[in-house]
Amino acid sequence: MKYMMTLVWSVILVSMLNYVVSSVQNVEFDLNNGLIMSIPVAILVILISAILPNEPVATPEHH
């Protein structure tokens, strides 16, 4: 379920970014570009979440 929600949020955010950039550059908005680019973004987010540890790293206390 978390993978599906990651994909949904990446589609929403990348499409919004695509819309804003196309409006600023005064070019036609193309939803397909946002959909295509959201897949690598979702994969990147999933890989980063798999690499980062969930637990804090124990460090020796300095007194």
Q: Give mean pLDDT, residues 51-55.
A: 85
Is the pLDDT at 57 greater than 80? The verdict is no
Residue 55: pLDDT over 90: no
pLDDT band at 11 (very low <50, low <70, confident <90, very high): very high
The verdict on pTM exceeding 0.85 is no
Dihedral angle computed from the Cα positions of residues 25, 27, 30 and 36, in that order, rounded to the nearest 10 degrees? -40
- The torsion defined by the Cα of 14, 16, 18 and 19, in degrees rounded to 10, comes to 170
C-alpha distances (whole Å) from 24 to each of 12, 16, 29, 33 are 18, 12, 11, 16
Q: What is the pLDDT of residue 37?
A: 95
